[in-house]
Amino acid sequence: MCGVFATIGTKENAGETVLEGLKKLEYRGYDSWGIATRVATSSPTTMKGTGKISEVRTSFPNGTTSIGHTRWATHGGVTKKNAHPHTQGCVTLVHNGIADNFEQLKKALKNEYSFVSDTDSEVLAALIDHSLKKNKYKNVVSAIRTATKQIEGRFALVMMIEGVDGIWAIRKGSPLIIGKGKHTNYIASDIPAFLQHTRTVNYLDDGELAKLTSTSVEIYSLINGKKVAKRNIKVEWNEEQATKDGWPHFMLKEIIEQKETILRTLEHSSTSIQKFVHTMNKRKGAYMIGSGTAHKAAMVGEYLFAKVADRKINVVQSEEMSYFERFIKSGTAIVAISQSGETADALEVLEYGVKHKAKILSITNTPSSSIARMSHHHLALNTGIEKAIASTKAMTAQMALLLLCAYTDGPGISYGRTLLRETGANINDMLNPRYSKHIEKIAGKIHKHENLFIIGRNSLYPIALEAAIKIQEVSYIHAQGFAAGELKHGPIALIEKGTVCIVLGSDKETISNAIELQSRGATILGIAPENNDVFTHWIRVPDCSEAQPIATVIPIQLLAYYLAIKRGLDPDMPRNLAKSVTVK
Ligand code: GLU
């Protein structure tokens, strides 16, 4: 979940380059940071600190090579000593992921090394140094291979070795991408880190080791030690998409961008969507998996397939799928929904699927992501980089693509396309400054509440769950979503005078549930196409028939954003969270 970035070149400003690049990766983890810099093969100087890297204004000693890290702690508290890079012997490394067996490794190494941090990462530095020592620092590839075989878990490591040229990196489950420049090369956990320097990339695959110098990139298989040839790929993203472009926060910028991004899903050809849907063979069954917001998008997909295509899809949280894995057989489709395409839990399910000859399908925002690359068919969200931790434009694009898939499986894709075009136009009209102001005003009235409840039924039930996630993650208000009909079975006991309840929809049944809440003293905020007497506050959404979940989630995103602002919080960087969850 952390951000890793390293560069090697001929100029002596490598430390500054890494600092700037890490600032662009801060969305991946931001509890602490560290950068090590060196000239040629000398021993590095390491600087570390706690807090956000965006606030770091330091200068670095001259260096042609530098490796850096923004941490999202898994092992050991958020302290300076636990911040990466970690050095043991001649090895200085940064680590993304978890070494599951680090305690056992630490025990075996503790007589030879003294450890200063509580992290699993420092143990890996010692393990690699130990392996290098054994072959007298002669054969680095072989030493790293030997060490890697002993590490259990999913991880990416980037390191430099005193006395040895280059930056060395291994990928086993966590993303690493190489950027190739002129007399300078880069390696990072995500492209924005080096986008201002180069757009030519090599994707490191699992089980690969890379060696970067200022003029060369060599890749080896960790399995047999042989060299691997890689294709240079040009990335389409531009720098502009990765900046706030005048907006106060990425979250707000990305909410407003939905005016266009939802419609970009229409750029997929009908043939490509048909192929995708036909792979979801009816007889062999289909599982749709996702985590957090992507899981709620998958749930919307489940309702859409049921309504429009008369088909029941099994939707399971990626984290829980291992308990159902035995139902995956040859030909069963697993559809992974993920913004980053790097979610560790989803990757594990897909690896199981590959072993059992399942059909792997995916919808992600990154066509070159690990999930996309292991899929038989992949549909890209085409929203551009999503930087705010809270997913907004990726989720609406996920729902839009699932809607096109459901129509393809049902009455025909052209109906889906027409509906999506109309929905896009309605959302474009809805998202105007007056609309945002109205929602900001409502946020101003309710931001002091510590509990919020949200109800919805049918395909708005997953949106009630998503509303709770959005509000929790950016405003830290305790929010809970329920199926409207579920209220009487328990949650209604929580309602007292003045409790704020958000009601999604103005259909008869939902309004009855709203009246039940009001009768117990609740203040009702309705988000619906029509106003109703039961609503104390009302946010209008256009009537978009089957695409209603797409339109309804947008005012909720705005509400969550303004709740965070009114509570004095930074909605782009909620505490304890990171953008792509690459650890289990
Ligand atoms: N497990 C390592 C730590 O806790 C790395 C975590 C990360 O991916 O940021 O320091």
Q: What is the pLDDT of residues 72-81, one digit of tens each?
A: 888 999 999 9
**CA dist 236 to 5, 76, 218, 272, 382, Å?**
20, 38, 24, 20, 11
The per-residue b/e assignment along 136-167, b for 16 or more CB within 10 angstroms, e otherwise, is ebeebbebbbbbbebbebbbbbbbbbbebbbb
Residues 148-180: tens digit of each pLDDT:
999 999 899 999 999 999 999 999 988 899 999
Q: Is 121 in the pocket of ligand 1 (CB under 6 A)?
A: yes
CATH code for 244-431?
3.40.50.10490
Q: Are the C-beta atoms of 214 and 166 separated by less than 8 Å?
A: no
CATH classification number, 432-579, choose in 3.40.50.10490, 3.60.150.10, 3.90.1300.10, 3.40.50.2020: 3.40.50.10490
Q: Is 74 in the pocket of ligand 1 (CB under 6 A)?
A: yes
Q: Which residue matches tokens 């308990």? A: 323
Q: Is 97 in the pocket of ligand 1 (CB under 6 A)?
A: yes
How far away, in angstroms, is 126 Cα from ligand 1 center?
A: 16
Q: Is the pLDDT of residue 584 over 70?
A: no
Ligand 1 atom nearest the C-alpha of 96 is: 8
Ligand 1 atom nearest the C-alpha of 2 is: 9
* Dihedral sign of CA atoms 166, 172, 174, 175 in order: positive
Rg of the chain over Cα atoms, rounded to whole angstroms, equals 25
Query: Domain residues of the chain, as ranges?
Result: 3-240, 244-431, 432-579
Residues 172-231: tens digit of each pLDDT:
988 899 999 999 999 999 888 999 999 999 999 889 999 999 999 999 999 999 999 998
Please, what is the end-to-end C-alpha distance for the chain in angstroms? 10
Residue nearest to atom 8 of ligand 1 (CA): 96
Ligand 1 pocket test, candidate residues 48, 75, 151, 343, most atoms within 8 A of CB: 75
Across 338-450, the runs of DSSP E, i.e. the strands, are 359-364, 377-380
- DSSP label at 63? B
Ligand 1 atom nearest the C-alpha of 1 is: 8
How far away, in angstroms, is 94 Cα from ligand 1 center?
A: 9
pLDDT at 581: 60
Ligand 1 pocket test, candidate residues 53, 74, 101, most atoms within 8 A of CB: 74
| Maximum pairwise Cα distance, the chain | 80
The tokens describing 460, both together, are 């708005």
pLDDT at 262: 96
Q: Is 119 in the pocket of ligand 1 (CB under 6 A)?
A: yes
Q: Which of 343, 254, 322 is nearest to 553 (CA)?
A: 254
d(CA 399, CA 396): 5
Q: Which of 205, 196, 262, 261 is nearest to 228 (CA)?
A: 205
Residues 321-352: tens digit of each pLDDT:
999 999 999 999 999 999 989 888 899 999 99
Ligand 1 pocket test, candidate residues 33, 117, 120, 577, most atoms within 8 A of CB: 120
Ligand 1 atom nearest the C-alpha of 71 is: 9
d(CA 484, CA 511): 10
Q: Is the pLDDT of residue 576 over 80?
A: no
**CA dist 135 to 148, 161, 230, Å?**
15, 14, 28
Q: Is 197 in the pocket of ligand 1 (CB under 6 A)?
A: no
Q: Are the C-beta atoms of 412 and 311 separated by less than 8 Å?
A: no
User: At 54, is the pLDDT very low, low, confident or very high (cuts 50, 70, 90)?
Assistant: confident
Q: Is the pLDDT of residue 57 over 90?
A: no
pTM over 0.85: no
Q: Kind and range of the H or E element at 35? A: strand 32-38
pLDDT at 578: 66
Q: Per residue, what are the HEC states of 472-488?
A: HHHHCCEEEEEEHHHHH
Fold assignment, 3-240: Glutamine Phosphoribosylpyrophosphate, subunit 1, domain 1 (3.60.20)
Ligand 1 atom nearest the C-alpha of 120 is: 1
Q: 3-240 and 432-579 share one CATH topology?
A: no
Residues forming the active site: 2, 579
